[in-house]
Amino acid sequence: MSLGLFFLITGIIWISLAILREGTMLLVEPGIVNLITGALLIIKFWRRYIRALVIASGLYSLIICSYQFYAASSLLQLGLTTFTIVSLIGFGLGSLAFLFVIIMSYMNAQAFILSTAGQEEETKVYGSD
């Protein structure tokens, strides 16, 4: 549930940055992808494919966050401004968060698989003794 909210919130952030900041359409795409991923995580739909979607949208957002961090770091040549500091901190934390999500998705594959162990035990047929 919390991972779904993470993707929903980052989707809203990407879309709002695209609309309010520069109006670049490049940020609308990861926003829509993150919104879809978050919604699918919350409603637990397409459970079989959600791990791949989490990794793909996380990678996409990581690349864009990293690029935005790089672009904000070039503003340091103009001097240390509030916008530069906020951008570096925000995009740096965003990059780390998406990197963490990607690593945890690779390491913990069982988190994306429905737990059916209890159901299998109940339906098992043991030899008739």
For residue 121, pLDDT over 70 is answered with no
pLDDT tens readout for residues 18-43: 888 665 777 888 889 999 988 888 88
Residue 96 confidence (pLDDT): 94
pLDDT tens readout for residues 77-117: 888 888 889 889 999 999 999 999 888 888 876 666 654 44
- Tell me if 3 sits within 8 A of 37, measured CB to CB: no
- The sign of the torsion formed by the CA atoms of 99, 104, 107, 110 equals negative
- Tell me if 33 sits within 8 A of 62, measured CB to CB: no
Measured in degrees and rounded to the nearest 5, phi and psi for residue 55 equal -65, -45
For residue 4, pLDDT over 60 is answered with yes
